[in-house]
Amino acid sequence: MAAPVTQSPAELSLWWNTLPPELLKPIGSPLPGDTTADIAIVGAGYTGLWTAYYLLKSDPALRVAIVEANYAGFGASGRNGGWVSALFPAGLNALARASSRSDTVRMKRAMFETVTEIGRVATAHAWDIEWEQGGTVVLARTPLQLESARAEIADYRSWGFGEDDYALLNANEAKARVNATDVLGATFTPHCAAINPARLVRNLARTVVSMGARLYEETPVTAIEPGVLRTASGSVRAEVIVRATEGYTPSLTGEKRTLAPFYSLMLATEPLSESLWKTIGLQSRETFSDGRHLIIYGQRTADGRIAFGGRGAPYFYGSKITAAQDRNPQVHAGLWRVLTDLFPAISDTRVTHTWGGPLGIARDWWASCGFDRNTGLAWAGGYVGDGVATTNLAGRTLTELITGAPMGAGDLTSLPWVNHRSPKWEPEPMRWLATNLALRAITSADEIENRTGRPSRRAAFLARKTGD
């Protein structure tokens, strides 16, 4: 893995900037030299930490070593939108084509249960992660978006999901939850909680270390091989090695085309007055979005801000990742325009934080996890921004794959995403050209639909190429 990116925690996100002092204290230390373990994990984000957590729950005697290039929660785990959601990047039809309808429904219900599981673990350990399960509202703000929302709910009904899982809201019902402009209706699912993601990852890291895991921070991994991971300061030999590096995966030797790092950027307002909140809604801290193609996402934070983000940042040639790419004035200005279009009442509100970071995307837009017993190599990732909950499912699934110990009802190891192998990304410059052309196409698809009132063909084409 590349050399660590030197950024102080306060620079990373609103979430890091507002952590209590006890969660900012160092948790690990650099690898002092060669060592051994039963299981070595590369990456101290959600994936690596949840995997360590469930491994040690299944067998407290396991010697688990976690090796992190920066510090626990440095990557997407401490910078995301704070949605503990049941979203999964591959659509139901794509999952069914690779498995069966029954396994697809089982996968979706496993995601529902994962939201509950994270809340259960947080409560059991008394983690204050600012959890509130207000569900997700996806607004329909144009006739086309309303038509799409109706079709989505009808599709869920065809899979056997009822009103308790997905509901269609009329305009008044939607505005009662999220009082945005131009609302014609919405979809609603209760399977999402708003959290402070940095609180989750830091509490999880501290708990895992207290359970006996060794956390080596500021130790970039240069190569992963069967039975050994290598760093500049020493090697860790282990029977099983887990790659849990998400958007930073391309910096590992031999993994340049496994996942592509795409940037998602965010901003946060100052805390809003109660009178503004009465105008806006979000009284249950619902997470919110709308039906446009270029993804946006937001939440009401526990301290009364709006944290809001979206896509739109370019893909950088060669899968380059730098601290400078975390902030893009043009993209952040665009996010502010979208947010104030949704809620004009906040137009005079200050933006106090801007940030961003890379997430990992596989060539076919599938998240996956798996374990090769012949090599002892395991992996999980490619969450396309849906990783806050999916990482927990990954940790439990990898534990079942590695140890054979069941992690609850049902067999997680037979879910459709397990041992899925995504194709490699194209070499440069084709990867750079294709991804940035796709970004331009999806942006223009929204513009075309808003102007013409007709569905965009390019959006339909891209949906077929991105896991739907």
Task: Report whether 389 contacts 439 (CB < 8 A).
Answer: no
Residue with tokens 């929660």: 73
User: What value does the CA radius of gyration of the chain take, rounded to a whole number of Å?
Assistant: 21
Q: Identify the band that residue 202 occupies on the pLDDT scale cut at 50, 70 and 90.
A: very high
Give 9-56 pLDDT, tens digit per residue. Answer: 878 999 999 999 999 999 999 999 999 999 999 999 999 999 999 999
Confidence of residue 241 (pLDDT cuts 50, 70, 90): very high
Question: How does the average pLDDT of the chain come out, rounded?
Answer: 95
- From CA 237, how far away is CA 65, in angstroms rounded? 10
Closest CA to 88 of 357, 416, 436: 416
With 60 as the cut, is the pLDDT of residue 4 above it?
no
Higher pLDDT, 460 or 324: 324
Above 70 in pLDDT, residue 5?
no
The whole-number pLDDT of residue 1 equals: 45
Tell me, what's the pLDDT at 452?
85
Per the model's pLDDT, the better-predicted residue between 8 and 167 turns out to be 167
Write out pLDDT tens, residues 126-147.
Answer: 999 999 999 999 999 999 999 9
219 vs 230, 320, 442, CA distance in Å? 10, 19, 38
CA gap 194, 122 in Å, rounded: 13
**Which percentage of the chain shows pLDDT scores above 90?**
90
Determine the 3-state secondary structure of 241 from DSSP.
strand
Q: What is the pLDDT of residue 66?
A: 99
Residue 178 has pLDDT above 70, yes or no: yes
Check whether the bond before 429 is cis (ω within 30° of 0): yes
Check pLDDT > 70 for residue 6: no
pLDDT of residue 122: 99
In whole angstroms, what is the distance from residue 248 CA to residue 436 CA?
A: 19
φ, ψ dihedrals at 113, nearest 5°: -65, -30
pLDDT of residue 451: 85
How many Å apart are CA 131 and CA 381, to the nearest integer?
Answer: 24
CA distance 235 to 31: 9
Mean per-residue pLDDT, 400-417? 91
Domain segments of the chain: what residues?
A: 9-80+197-259+364-414, 426-468
pLDDT in tens, 357-391: 999 999 999 999 999 999 999 999 999 999 999 99
What does the pLDDT look like over 76-106, one tens digit per residue? 999 999 999 999 999 999 999 999 999 999 9
Question: Which structure tokens are listed for 251?
Answer: 């910096």
Over residues 342-353, the pLDDT tens digits come to 999 999 999 999
Which pLDDT score is estimated for 98? Answer: 95
Q: Is 217 helix (H, G, I), strand (E, B) or coil?
A: coil
Choose the weakest-confidence range: 20-34, 386-400, 420-434, 438-452.
Answer: 438-452
The 3-class secondary structure across 263-276, one letter per residue, is: EEEEEEECCCCHHH
State how far the Cα of 207 lies from the Cα of 57, in Å rounded to an integer: 11
Rounded to an integer, what distance in angstroms lies between the CA atom of residue 9 and that of residue 7? 6
pLDDT band at 236 (very low <50, low <70, confident <90, very high): very high
9-80+197-259+364-414 belongs to which CATH class? alpha beta
Each residue's pLDDT tens digit, 246-294? 999 999 999 999 999 999 999 999 999 999 999 999 999 999 999 999 9
- Residue 350 is given by DSSP the state P
Of 342, 94, 377, residue with least CA distance to 239: 377
In this predicted structure, the answer to whether residue 116 has a pLDDT above a threshold of 70 is yes
Whole-number pLDDT of residue 465: 65
Residue with tokens 């997470």: 287
> Parallel, antiparallel, or unpaired: how do β-strands 260-269 and 234-243 relate?
unpaired
Give the up-direction half-sphere exposure of residue 131: CA atoms within 13 A in the CB hemisphere: 20
pLDDT at residue 467 is higher than 70:
no
Q: What is the pLDDT of residue 65?
A: 99
